[in-house]
Amino acid sequence: MDRLARVVARNSAFGAGAQIIIKILSFLFTVLIVRNLGAEDFGQYAAVLAFGALFVFFADLGLSPYTVREVARLRDAPDGAAQIAALYGDVLRIRFILSIVTALLLIGTAWITGRPAVMVGAIALGTLGLIMYSLHGTSDSLLAGYERLDISAAARVVYQFCFVGAGALVLWLGLGYYGLIGANLLGIALMTTVCYTGARRLGLRIGAVNRTRWLRLLRASMPFGIIGFTLGLSYKFDTVLLNIFRSDVETGHYAAAYNLIFSMVLISNILNTALFPTLTRQAASDASVLPAVYGRALRYLLVLSLPIAIGGAALAHQIIPFLFGEGYAGGITALRLLIWVLPLMFITEFLGYIVVIAGREARVARAVVLSTSINVVFNIAAVPFFGIAGAAITTVITELILTGQYLWMLRDTLRDLPWVQIAVRPGLAALLMGGVVLLASPWLPLLANIALGGVVYGLLVLGMGILSRDELRFIRSLRQRPPVAREAA
């Protein structure tokens, strides 16, 4: 258990350090973009990104997570190096072909749906990134399978520094969101170089082509692909509909609030990305320790996400004007509603990984398809008439349905976990904290109110025993890296 925890902690630490840097830069730069472009142009920019997110599935078809799992399984096999090289070569070639096809589909769809010529041109420019991602995504998947998330994290830091630096320059030059797309492409190119070079230094080589197994690879990866496509559809379909049926301004208001939510989802992604390859190996060797890991991870995710959600809802009227200006007041409603999806997203990502680790990814795909189908139907019915409110409520309902499905699938595994400690106590502490900051908001500025909420919540967590002495000892122990941990890494 300690060995597993230390490997996960090593990966989480690299991921956390890199992602903290990334998200600080990304968050500040997003604020700059939103303020610089204004609601209308930012709405167009968000719609361009949303169109791309809807189609990115076709450029991957689930090959990335499938490759991570297969590499994690093969790396210790006697002929693992040869099999991984063959997998590297085939997946890379398949993804390159898929990226070309996807680029054509994306541009054609934007034109058919009547998007303005300036948006169609921006979408076409952005498809160059899909082609580069064929090499980046394949190399990054191999690194994850080898649990070298430190290299992947370094690549993302390089990307973010490049995007922020070049993006700030193009904004200063007044090049608008076309300039931002160009800055993004430059960052992707550098990130791809770092991941590919890192894979080469690990001795990973691109194997010879073997087209006879391409169909088998696509069939095996398809459940992962369906999961990715339906999640992308669920998260971006509302933005596309807002742009088509409402206005660029309303799209901008909604996207500004939505970006805040996804910035905070990173916290769960750090842990889950570190856990997936490590727990996959642990399940193959000794699965008896997994329930304890599941309970601990769920507790940490809820301890972190619940106060953000409740505090964000209480202070939305201060957060939006502070970050984006009074011109984005329409985003207050969006943030107050959307913020409740955060704790659900934290745990659904983790619960989905638990199901995948057990080799039941087809069930995850079915669950995601069902919740996304509901999302699409609800959005089509609600967005044209209710705009932001309809899109936000639909997002929360969708994630709630997905959470319920995962909990039902895993009922035997999760039944005996200490749910009072995992969810009830953190929820109560977060509610009490939220009440305090809401009462204080008429008299305190935002930053002071956030500080007050942090102090109150921290005291409640300790006072209510949400983090026990064993938990604190465990956290302190993760700082240490004995020789066995280095060998495991």
Instruction: Round the CA-based radius of gyration of the chain to a whole number and report it.
Output: 22
- Which pair of tokens denotes residue 334? 């969006």
Alpha helices in 247-360 (DSSP H): 248-285, 290-314, 316-324, 331-338, 341-357
pLDDT digits (tens, 9 = 90+) for 253-266: 998 888 888 777 77
Query: Mean pLDDT over all residues of the chain?
Result: 81
Say if CB 383 and CB 251 are below 8 A apart: no
Q: Could you tell me which of 284, 306, 402 has the C-alpha nearest to residue 352?
A: 402
Give the start-to-end residue ranges of the domains of the chain. 2-488
- What is the per-residue pLDDT for 273? 66
Q: Can you state the angle between helices 214-241 and 63-74, rounded to 10 degrees? A: 140
Q: Can you state the angle between helices 331-338 and 290-314, rounded to 10 degrees? A: 150
Average pLDDT of the segment spanning 95-104: 91
Q: Cβ of 208: how many Cβ atoms within 10 Å? A: 8
- What is the per-residue pLDDT for 469? 64
Task: Provide the residue count of the chain.
Answer: 489
pLDDT digits (tens, 9 = 90+) for 299-338: 888 888 899 999 999 999 999 988 888 888 888 999 999 9
Q: pTM value? A: 0.70
Burial class (CB in 10 A: 0-12, 13-18, 19+), 431: middle
Answer whether residue 343 shows pLDDT above 50.
Answer: yes
CA distance to 33, 118, 250, 267, 388, per residue, from 244 (Å): 22, 15, 11, 32, 13
pLDDT digits (tens, 9 = 90+) for 186-215: 999 999 999 999 888 888 888 787 888 888
User: Confidence class of residue 80 from pLDDT cuts 50, 70 and 90?
Assistant: confident
Answer whether residue 361 shows pLDDT above 70.
Answer: no
Say if CB 488 and CB 6 are below 8 A apart: yes
Average pLDDT of the segment spanning 269-280: 66
- Which pair of tokens denotes residue 172? 């200063």
Answer whether residue 287 shows pLDDT above 80.
Answer: no
Answer whether residue 484 shows pLDDT above 50.
Answer: no
Longest dimension (CA), the chain: 69
